[in-house]
């Protein structure tokens, strides 16, 4: 059997071997790009993506309860008054119970959900009572609708303005007033 001659000391591949080598190089490039994207991250505009700032709660982030009335016994949003959609005539209440007593001051940030993710309320200080076991606050929903506008929002409760959130939750503000109740 005759041997294939080496021309100019180069390796000569058959067409089938060249095709296989091309597929291997392409697969290697795809894996390289995927690894680089995972390590460096980014959103297409050159901004790195922070995996901790996702809209879904992490395992160490508590869930904020929203509603229209507080339970006088627990100081939390009453179970039968829980809602996540508020109109101008509603009372907007949120609460969260932490495993340990919360800090004396927490910070509340609100972001519009959607394409722009605009921060509509930068981390604002909320002072709690000296021995508070629950973080809770109440405000007329009309004030929020007037200030933020109608839409879906993400609320973050932070121990410090630049820290990871203690709790997060989503709510919706709608234009108009709530329907009249059917009570006589």
Tens of pLDDT along the chain (184 residues)? 556 655 566 777 788 888 888 888 888 888 877 776 666 655 444 444 444 444 444 556 899 999 999 999 999 999 999 999 999 899 999 999 988 889 999 999 999 998 778 999 999 999 998 888 899 999 999 999 999 999 999 999 999 999 999 999 999 999 876 555 444 4
What is the reported pLDDT for 126? 95
Burial class (CB in 10 A: 0-12, 13-18, 19+), 66: buried
Whether 29 and 87 share a structural domain:
no
Distance between CA atoms of residues 91 and 138, nearest Å: 7
56: Cβ–Cβ under 8 A, 6 or more apart, which residues? none
| Tally of domains within the chain | 2
Contact 170, 55 (CB under 8 A): yes
Residue 181 lies in a domain: no
Concatenating the DSSP letter of every residue in 2-28 gives PPPPPSTT-----HHHHHHHHHHHHHH
Q: Mapping DSSP to helix (H, G, I), strand (E, B) and coil, where does residue 51 land?
A: helix
Whether 85 and 160 share a structural domain:
yes
Concatenating the DSSP letter of every residue in 129-176 gives -TT-SEEEEEEEHHHHHHHH-SEEEEEEEESSTTSPPSEEEEEEE-SS
Where in the sequence is the domain holding 110, given as residue range(s)? 52-173
Whether 153 and 73 share a structural domain:
yes
Whether 165 and 100 share a structural domain:
yes
Task: Give the angle subtended at the CA of 121 by the CAs of 119 and 122, to the nearest 5°.
Answer: 80
Whether 146 and 126 share a structural domain:
yes
What is the reported pLDDT for 26? 82
What is the reported pLDDT for 45? 44
Whether 60 and 39 share a structural domain:
no
Whether 16 and 105 share a structural domain:
no
pTM: 0.64
Distance between CA atoms of residues 86 and 172, nearest Å: 6
What is the reported pLDDT for 43? 47
Whether 92 and 78 share a structural domain:
yes
Residue 122 lies in a domain: yes
Residue 5 lies in a domain: no
Residue 33 lies in a domain: yes
Residue 40 lies in a domain: yes
Whether 150 and 122 share a structural domain:
yes
The phi-psi region of residue 155 (left if phi > 0; otherwise alpha if psi is between -120 and 50; otherwise beta) is beta
Whichever domain contains 121, its CATH number is 2.60.40
| Token duo for residue 174 | 């709608």
Residue 18 lies in a domain: yes
Whether 138 and 166 share a structural domain:
yes
Residue 152 lies in a domain: yes
Residue 6 lies in a domain: no
Whether 77 and 57 share a structural domain:
yes
Whether 64 and 122 share a structural domain:
yes
């Amino acid at each position: 059997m005759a041997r294939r001659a080496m021309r100019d000391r180069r390796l000569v591949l058959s067409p089938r071997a060249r095709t296989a080598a091309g597929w291997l190089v392409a697969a290697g490039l795809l894996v390289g790009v995927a690894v680089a994207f995972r390590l460096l991250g980014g959103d297409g505009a050159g901004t790195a993506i922070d995996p901790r700032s996702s809209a879904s709660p992490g395992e160490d982030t508590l869930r904020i309860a929203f509603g229209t009335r507080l339970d006088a016994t627990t100081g939390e949003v009453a179970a039968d008054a829980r809602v996540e959609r508020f109109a101008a005539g509603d009372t907007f209440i949120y609460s969260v119970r932490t495993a340990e007593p919360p800090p004396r001051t927490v910070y509340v940030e609100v972001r519009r959900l959607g394409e722009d993710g605009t921060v509509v309320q930068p981390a604002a200080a909320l002072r709690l009572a000296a021995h508070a076991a629950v973080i809770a606050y109440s405000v007329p929903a009309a004030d929020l609708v007037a200030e933020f506008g109608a839409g879906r929002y993400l609320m973050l409760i932070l121990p410090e303005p630049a820290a990871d959130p203690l709790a997060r939750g989503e709510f919706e503000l709608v234009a108009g007033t709530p329907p009249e109740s059917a009570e006589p």
